[in-house]
Structure 1
Amino acid sequence: MTTETTAPTNDAVLVAGAGGVVGRSVVEHFARTGVTTRGISRRAPQGVSGWTHLPVDLLDADAAVEGLRAASDTTRLAFAAYIEKADLAEQIGPNVALLEHTLDALDRLGAPLRHVTLYQGMKYYGAHLGRFTTPAKEDDPRLLVPNFYYDQEDLLRERAAQRGFALTVFRPEAVMGYAQGTPMNLLMAIGTYVAMTRELGLPLRFPGQRETYDRILYQMTDAELLARATDWAGSAPTAAGEAFNITNGDVVRWSHLWKRLADHFGLELGEPQTLPLATVMPPREDLWNRMVERHGLVPTPYTELVDWRFGDMILGSTWDNVSNVIKLRQAGFGACHDSADRLVELLDDLGRRRILPAAPGVEVQPV
């Protein structure tokens, strides 16, 4: 089995979607290793140093060429850019355009591109549609429904064959990490819900379905682990041309995870009570503003904090969401996390940085 490697310092890494949970973590990872790192996003992630921010409009082919002139030495592209659309078919056009314009701009600029990492997710297997075959495997057949993952991957493989660069596709689930202004984020949904429960002095109740709480198995993918896998994939021969499921390596049951959270934050664990978060939580903006003031938190606008519809989708799912990660292990990437431990670590980090109120005993950074 091969071991993790680090990108050569003569690489130049470009991260599309640097403002999101995945992109921010990838930028942090490569910048920390001393590799020339640039990121494309509408706004620059705060608190990340050692990289160059490029505010490029990737939906405009000509603007992409002009905006990426400063990245004409790019050897590796990590593509995490994404545009949300409610309709599945409507997602295809803009998301394929983002990738196509990025690849074509780098080609027109003569960039010595040698590897591209593309990020997908469990929607590849139909996790958003209902019960699907689990554990999902990379060679499971595609579905009939529209899915921009399929179109992006087909485009990437076509361009790779034409232009001679390698590619790797990762399929994580519930990527856990923080990025400012990225409300489709399970870490922030859980953390904010727990923090508000604690602020009101209430028992911690699971807000999804009772069946989900007791029975359903779920997986998570740490954003930092995904960044390390991205680094590995760029130089591992076993990763070239392959698609990999990637998770922390374990499965969680919500009942066990909720008890862990209650214990960590000093809360009474209550019985589950199904709550439509998208209805119940948006009117709590005044509560959030009071918490920001009382705890000296970073003043994040409430509308940018959490997409509660996303929380409902995850916590209300009544089917297992599990993928097989053996292919990745056999290819040589064996890093893993205990998901409950890691969730607590991430929430404590948010507490230290005053993004959310800290758990008891966690020392916060000075203002």
Structure 2
Amino acid sequence: MNQTKRVAVVVGARGVIGSNLVRHLQSSGDWDVVGVSRRGGDDGPRLRHISVDLLDAEDARRKLSPLTDVTHIFYAAYQDRPTWTELVPPNVAMLVNAVSAIEAVSPGLEHVSLMQGYKVYGAHLGPFKTPARESDPPHMPPEFNVDQQQFLETRQHGKAWTWSAIRPSVVCGFALGNPMNLALVIAVYATLCKKLGVPFRFPGAPGAYTSLIEMTDAGLLAEATVWAATTPECANQAFNINNGDLFRWNDMWPRIASYFELATAPALPMSLDVVMADKEPVWDAIVAENGLAETPYSDVSSWAFGDFVFAWDYDVMADGSKARRLGFHRFVDTEAMFVDIFDDLRKRKIIP
């Protein structure tokens, strides 16, 4: 790693991916970090936050124009919408506005890292070719991940900076108030089961209980993202990043139940978004009885995302060997990852 000053802008700094990336960059000691998000955040050692509405090109230009020494953009922002088609305009616009504003004032820009996912392969649409590889052809649009990458490829022509596209599976780590947080879904679901005296049932589609799936630890993802952004051989390429192991929920679910000291029962398909809609009073009682951090139910209940993942009644996996061939060898045991996250949630007094 060269010793010149590196300045990272993490766009989407408050999400599961962005917040873990910020922590990783801070811990390395080699970076000054600027976190960009709608909500802003607390500044820290070599870290400052900027609140920006990236859907507003003028606000992005005005707020980001002082960032004249940026070397790396790590883009992990996301705006949810009801349909796949509606996802495209806001998510492409935010990337365009962020890159345009920073590139215009930072002549030393070296790299733009784009966070994607298995949606590139159509994983959200139904059974797809597995293990998915970075060279697989795109599926029928709309797909904002593909449009974002095409923007970077076109924008980079003739420029000194390079890009990379990082494709994780379901990302697990700590962050509150995030719409895509599977580990928190599981932990809060288990906590409510214990409070209500009911067994811990897998709530997803029957086929999802026996299909192969993999996860991506947020810490591993942060390391891989920075590795790809600072390794010349990785320039202008996409990489699948996953823990390196596969599992089935019918094996993992009893192990998670054991952690929470819960009995299991046969799987029962149900929408968590529906059955958990009236559980806010129960959650508030759990928080009060156990002296937990006063976390609003809305900040811990990513139920719709849980329903989304637990509905995958087909294998969800991608080939991660390309990153290994170029030198990234980090591995995370997924069961140990879940335990570490649950332990962390207890330490933070989010769950009892």
TM bucket (normalised to shorter chain) is over 0.9
Q: What amino acid is the match of 1:300?
A: T
Residues 128-277 of structure 1: pairs in structure 2 closer than 5 A = 128-213=124-209, 215-277=210-272
Residue of structure 2 in register with 1:98 after alignment: 94
CA distance in 1, matches of 2:140, 2:241: 24
Q: Identify the range of structure 1 (38-47 vs 260-269) with the bigger mean alpha-carbon deviation.
A: 38-47
- Taking the aligned partners of 2:240 and 2:85, their CA distance within structure 1 comes to 24
Q: Does 1:53 align with 2:49?
A: yes
Aligned-partner residue type, residue 98 of structure 1: M
Looking at structure 2, the residues matched to 8 and 291 of structure 1 have their Cα atoms a distance apart, in angstroms, of: 50
Contact 1:7-1:231 within 8 A present in 2 as well:
no
* Structure 1 residue aligned with 2:65: 69
CA distance in 1, matches of 2:186, 2:332: 18
Equivalent-residue separation in structure 2 for 1:42 and 1:78 (angstroms): 16
1:221-243 CA-to-partner distances (Å, cap 9, x unmatched) read: 01111111122112212211110
Change (3 A) 1:311 1:8: farther
Q: Is the 8 A contact 1:9 1:36 kept in 2?
A: no
Q: Which residue of 1 aligns with 2:26?
A: 31
Task: Give the direction of change, closer, same or farther, for the CA distance of 1:344–1:9 in structure 2 (3 Å limit).
Answer: farther
Choose 227-236 or 133-142, whichever is displaced more: 227-236
1:9 CA drift (Å) = 6.4
User: Root-mean-square deviation (CA), in Å?
Assistant: 1.6
Q: Which amino acid aligns with 2:255?
A: R
Q: What amino acid does structure 2 have at the position aligned with 1:157?
A: E
Report runs of 4+ in structure 1 exceeding 4 Å deviation: 6-9, 45-50
State the one-letter code of the partner of 1:296. Answer: G
- Distance in 1 (CA, whole Å) between partners of 2:251 and 2:41 is 33
Q: TM-score, normalised by structure 1?
A: 0.92
Q: Residue 157 of structure 2 aligns to a residue in which SS?
A: helix
- 1:17 correspondence with 2:12: yes
- Quick one: distance in 1 between partners of 2:321 and 2:287? 43
> Structure 1 residues 304 and 105 mapped into 2: Cα distance closer, same or farther (>3 Å)?
same
Mapped pair 1:112 → 2:112: no
User: Secondary structure, in 3 states, of the residue corresponding to 2:265?
Assistant: coil
Alignment CA distance shift 1:46-1:293 (3 Å): farther
Uncovered stretches (5+) of structure 2, i.e. residues with no partner? none
**Would you say 1:294 and 2:289 are equivalent positions?**
yes
Taking the aligned partners of 2:218 and 2:347, their CA distance within structure 1 comes to: 18
May I ask how many residue pairs the two structures share in their alignment? 351
Q: SS at 1:234's partner residue?
A: helix
Taking structure 2 as the reference length, the TM-score comes to 0.96
